């Protein structure tokens, strides 16, 4: 599996000539979703779901499909009948040749006064887990964790404890568009020293074979 990191929380997975993209949001490159046969969206917040980017990908490939939760699916299903599938915690499906399990139900708490929205995470091929905006523990071994490293809803101690609880072989940063280059060495050092897993990051456009 080839992993490509896009800006913020968007990742692109390629295997056997097929492509799956997770969370092409408003901070992500405009063409990040184009060319994907499968598109997964963890929740409705605009840094993870940009309707224009999804529509562009679906228009570009009449066989491309979306798997997501209800709040996002409702915004696309009418325009793309039969190509938008609603999923939730416990569901399993195959998308573009990738086997996917759905874990989690709610977005992390930003503030008690802000209502929580639905959020799902995706475990791909039983090895790579993207939790969206939650610290969901899938309850199954994870080789590669896409780690939401910095957000309005998190602090670094929670991020470190999350890595410890999931116990992946490696953790790659996502949800990092608000993290400045000046602060990155602090996160690299503390998560790397205390998380108990190999802590890695890719610049936007960077790739790695898993």
Please write the tens of the pLDDT for every residue from 104-140: 999 999 999 999 999 999 999 999 999 999 999 999 9
Q: Would residue 206 count as lying in a domain?
A: no
In sequence order, which residues have a C-beta less than 8 Å from that of residue 201 and are 6 or more positions away?
A: 5, 149, 172, 173, 176, 184, 188
Q: What residue numbers bound the domain in which 161 lies?
A: 2-201
Task: Return per-residue pLDDT of the chain as tens, 210 residues.
Answer: 999 999 999 999 999 999 999 999 999 999 999 999 999 999 999 999 999 999 999 999 999 999 999 999 999 999 999 999 999 999 999 999 999 999 999 999 999 999 999 999 999 999 999 999 999 999 999 999 999 999 999 999 999 999 999 999 999 999 999 999 999 999 999 999 999 999 999 999 999 999
Looking at the domain assignment, is residue 208 inside a domain?
no
- CB contact at 8 A, 26 and 44: no
CATH of the domain at 45: 3.60.15.10
- The answer to whether residue 122 is domain-embedded is yes
Number of domains in the chain: 1
pTM: 0.97
Q: For residue 195, is it within any domain?
A: yes
Domain membership flag for residue 209: no
- What burial letters (b/e) apply to 188-201, b meaning 16+ CB within 10 Å? eeebbeebbbebbb
């Amino acid at each position: 599996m080839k992993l490509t990191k896009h800006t913020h929380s968007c990742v692109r997975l390629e295997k056997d000539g097929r492509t799956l993209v997770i969370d092409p949001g408003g901070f992500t490159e405009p063409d990040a979703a184009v060319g994907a046969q499968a598109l997964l969206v963890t929740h409705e917040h605009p840094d993870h779901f940009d309707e224009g980017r999804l529509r562009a990908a679906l228009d570009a490939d009449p066989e491309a499909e979306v798997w997501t939760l209800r709040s996002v699916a409702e915004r696309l299903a009418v325009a793309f009948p039969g190509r938008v599938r609603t999923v939730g915690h416990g569901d399993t499906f195959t998308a573009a040749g990738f086997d996917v399990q759905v874990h989690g139900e709610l977005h992390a708490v930003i503030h008690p006064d802000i209502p929580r929205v639905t959020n799902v995470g995706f475990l791909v091929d039983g090895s790579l887990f993207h939790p969206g905006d939650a610290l969901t523990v899938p309850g199954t071994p994870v080789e590669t964790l896409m780690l939401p490293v910095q957000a309005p809803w998190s602090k670094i101690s929670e991020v470190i404890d999350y890595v410890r609880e999931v116990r992946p072989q490696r953790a790659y940063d996502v949800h990092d568009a608000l993290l400045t280059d000046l602060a990155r060495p602090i996160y690299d050092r503390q998560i790397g020293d205390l998380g108990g897993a190999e802590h890695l990051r890719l610049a936007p456009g960077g790739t790695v074979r898993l």
